[in-house]
Amino acid sequence: MDLARPDLRRAVIAGIACVLLGQLAAQQLVLRHEVGGTVVFHADYRRVAADLRRLGVRPPCLVKGEQDIPVAFYAGCASAPGVTSAQAAGHPVVLLERAWHRHHGQARHWQRQRLPGSGILHLIAYLPGR
């Protein structure tokens, strides 16, 4: 026994199809936004790694601080939060901080280097005794 009228059935199917298409469109917008942001950040990570190479930081090296994991990946370095320069076994150590922060820990006497490639990240590198 068919209780639904054929015209009502078509309207319900059309309504469900519209909702699904709307959901697909919204998901596409979110995806484009997220991918766009990711592309921008990864371009910044590559530029920061290039700036570090320009400053003489080459593997084996250790990157600590802000965005240490992705920057270390692009620079070919290790990242290890909490490791001191003495524990880095002679490898170059870089501490990354936001440009507006002043580091008062172990790096307060290190050389502060601007990273011009650091667009949206606004990072500064601290390098020990160079």
pTM of the entire predicted model: 0.73
Flag whether 22 is in a domain.
yes
pLDDT at 103: 65
Flag whether 52 is in a domain.
yes
Flag whether 35 is in a domain.
yes
Measured at the CA of 102, the angle between CA 99 and CA 106, to 5 degrees, comes to 120
The CA distance from 92 to 70, in Å, is 17
Q: What is the band of 83 on the pLDDT scale with cuts at 50, 70, 90?
A: low
Contact of 81 with 62, CB cutoff 8 Å: no
Flag whether 1 is in a domain.
no
Tens digits of residue pLDDT in 23-43: 999 999 999 999 988 898 999
Q: Indicate if the pLDDT at residue 46 is higher than 90.
A: yes
pLDDT at 89: 62
Q: What is the band of 85 on the pLDDT scale with cuts at 50, 70, 90?
A: low
pLDDT at 6: 75
The CA distance from 38 to 45, in Å, is 11
pLDDT at 84: 58
| Count: domains in the chain | 1
Q: Indicate if the pLDDT at residue 1 is higher than 90.
A: no
Flag whether 117 is in a domain.
yes
Flag whether 30 is in a domain.
yes
Flag whether 86 is in a domain.
yes
CA 93 centroid distance within chain: 20
Query: If DSSP states are collapsed to H, E and C, what string results for 50-112?
Result: HHHHHCCCCCCCEEEECCHHHHHHHHCCEECCCCCHHHHCCCCEEEEEECCCCCCCCCCCCEE
Flag whether 60 is in a domain.
yes
Domain coverage including residue 33: 6-127
pLDDT at 88: 55
